[in-house]
Amino acid sequence: MTYILIAVNVLVFLAETAAGGSEDIGVAIRFGAYAAPLVKDEGEWYRLFTAMFVHFGPEHLGSNMISLFALGSFVEKIFGKIRFLVIYLFSGLAGNLLVCYMDIMGGRDTAAVSAGASGAICGLLGVFIVFALLPQMKGMFPMKRVLIAILLMLAPGLSDGSINMTAHIGGLIGGFLITWPVYFSTNALRRRRH
């Protein structure tokens, strides 16, 4: 599933490039990037989902796909394809929903267009927070190490105003929240099989 997600992101990126350039805002909007006025005024809520697969430039795509490969492969091995996909998509939606809430309800500047897989990828880091809290797994996932990994992931957004920190934080929270029921349902299923 990790490889399928990477392939989908790369294919969308290639389609963006062919349609006029992945760094063109108009192209990004046509391919489903998030923009508050289009969600709020036009009712295009699907953008909360499609924005996860749109990227601005090769560096944006490359850094996200490397992170997805590194984290996704590991999380998928633990949870399996479907549960991994649930965590990933839920996290991405949570990140974009928080952006939408802050834009519409928080009175922020809603002219910005945002896109990318990083909210969903930050949700995969939320999985490791859960592991660091579980007595049977915290030895393998020390909380200090997990927090350092999260800080390293979030650090670029502290100095670069073009990075949507709200989506990252929303994705991280979403991943943390959805991992609990996914983890316990996975364990229950394994116990029934044994």
Closest CA to 27 of 14, 17, 37, 41: 17
Distance CA 146, CA 9 (A): 26
Distance CA 83, CA 180 (A): 12
Annotated catalytic residue 118 = yes
Annotated catalytic residue 194 = no
Q: Which of 55, 73, 118, 185 does the annotation list as catalytic?
A: 118
Distance CA 128, CA 134 (A): 10
Distance CA 29, CA 18 (A): 15
Within a 13 Å sphere around the CA of 47, how many CA atoms are in the beta-carbon half? 23
Instruction: Check: CB of residue 127 under 8 Å from CB of residue 179.
Output: yes
Region at 67 (left for phi over 0; alpha for psi -120 to 50; beta for the rest): alpha
Q: Which of 22, 91, 114, 168 does the annotation list as catalytic?
A: 168
| Residues with catalytic roles | 118, 168
